[in-house]
């Protein structure tokens, strides 16, 4: 299954193979935008004050916005010049789910703009940008959450036992809307408008959560019965953290704005739900982080090399940072504060490594080159 067709080998040896081309520029590149945006927004909401961090986060947000513009332009060029390859991506069960990253990239840049980008462009400009990106990202995410599972069922028809963590990407997109929608709730007129957006976010929370609960058993069953993922795909195990951290972020963010959007007793109930839901889910997220981390260490020892899959170490971990920060606000526990800080250190480290290696791959042309064929690694290695 070719999840990242342009990264079978990180640095192809031949000069011809290194020639860059938009033909192999897939939707997975939006993951780099997501990973950069979450560094900015997660750093800005940390429950500790670090001098100069907010200014650095503002610079990172500018970088993420520029990356979004560049990737959108490149993807438009891909569709315009290589329609056959674009259609092939949609028919590939390993690539099609990455169309969910388009929605999440739009949402992440817009949301980070409201959190920290307003320091650069002003509140009104950040608000206008977020309205556009949130609307486009939400509509795209809701469409993809239905369309990609439909393609998997009707056109892809994968073999039993081949479920992949990337299947979560389309259904997680509405959860990102649920987590970032609360930024816009206070900007709406009091009354029906605020309540409608608040409850719409809860509806998207439920949509994404239930779809995730359907897919997670398939993924775990695949790992138990078929063995570890191929080395290059091992980082995709971190994608499971996405719906866990993002749903925790969502319930805490929605609880923050509920008192101004909905009447009692629901406002206080939403606050209680944020803790009752978020704490157990964060516990499971930490368990999965340890499991996925152990699998990555195993893959590194077996010779795993760099690929665009490494961006899977960024955005999902960032959602756990924002989730832990939300729990720190609502529980007052110092343990959640330091958990958020520790996870943010992990996030920044992963982002720096993935970013440097991606720049190197772009400069060499390796990441835009034609695929060189799958690495000789079986699903179960010893």
Tell me the C-alpha distance between 367 and 20, whole Å.
Answer: 8
Short-list 235, 14, 23, 15, CA closest to 6: 23
Tell me the C-alpha distance between 368 and 359, whole Å.
Answer: 11
**What confidence category does residue 9 fall into, taking pLDDT thresholds of 50, 70 and 90?**
very low
Enter the pTM of the model: 0.89
**What confidence category does residue 372 fall into, taking pLDDT thresholds of 50, 70 and 90?**
low
- pLDDT tens track for 153-171: 888 888 877 889 999 999 9
Residue 2 has pLDDT above 60, yes or no: no
Instruction: Output the furthest CA–CA distance in the chain (Å, rounded).
Output: 67
| Domains delineated in the chain | 12-368 (1.50.10.150)
Q: pLDDT value at position 377?
A: 38
- pLDDT tens track for 274-327: 999 999 999 999 999 999 999 999 999 999 999 899 999 999 999 999 999 999
CB atoms within 10 A of CB 54: 16
- pLDDT tens track for 332-360: 999 999 999 999 999 999 999 999 999 99
């Amino acid at each position: 299954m070719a999840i990242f067709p342009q990264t079978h080998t990180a640095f192809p040896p031949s000069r011809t193979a290194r020639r860059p081309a938009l033909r192999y520029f897939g939707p997975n590149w939006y993951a780099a935008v997501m990973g950069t945006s979450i560094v900015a927004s997660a750093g800005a909401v940390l429950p500790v004050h670090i001098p100069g961090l907010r200014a650095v986060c503002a610079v990172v947000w500018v970088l993420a916005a520029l990356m979004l513009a560049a990737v959108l332009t490149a993807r438009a060029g891909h569709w315009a010049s290589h329609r056959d390859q674009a259609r092939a991506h949609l028919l590939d069960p390993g690539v099609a789910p990455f169309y969910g990253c388009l929605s999440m990239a739009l949402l992440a840049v817009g949301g980070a703009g409201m959190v920290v980008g307003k320091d650069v462009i002003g509140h009104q400009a950040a608000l206008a940008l977020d309205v556009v990106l949130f609307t486009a990202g939400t509509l795209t995410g809701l469409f993809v959450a239905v369309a990609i599972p439909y393609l998997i069922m009707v056109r892809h028809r994968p073999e039993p036992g081949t479920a992949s963590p990337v299947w979560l990407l389309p259904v997680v997109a509405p959860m990102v809307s649920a987590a970032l929608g609360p930024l816009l709730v206070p900007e709406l007129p009091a009354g029906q408008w605020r309540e409608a957006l608040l409850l719409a976010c809860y509806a998207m929370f439920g949509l994404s959560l239930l779809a995730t609960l359907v897919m997670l058993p398939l993924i775990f069953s695949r790992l138990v019965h078929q063995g570890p993922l191929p080395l290059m795909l091992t980082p995709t195990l971190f994608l499971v953290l996405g719906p866990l951290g993002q749903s925790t972020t969502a319930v805490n963010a929605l609880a923050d704005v509920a008192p101004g959007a909905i009447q009692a007793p629901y406002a206080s109930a939403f606050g209680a739900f944020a803790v009752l839901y978020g704490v157990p889910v964060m516990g499971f997220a930490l368990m999965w982080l340890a499991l996925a981390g152990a699998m990555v260490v195993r893959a590194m020892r077996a010779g795993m090399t760099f690929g665009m899959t490494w961006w899977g170490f960024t955005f999902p971990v960032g959602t756990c940072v924002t989730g832990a920060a939300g729990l720190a606000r609502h529980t007052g526990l110092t343990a959640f504060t330091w958990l958020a800080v520790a996870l943010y250190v992990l996030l920044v480290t992963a982002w720096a490594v993935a970013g440097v290696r991606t720049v190197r791959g772009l400069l060499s042309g390796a990441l835009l080159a034609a695929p060189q064929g799958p690495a000789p690694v079986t699903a179960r290695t010893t």
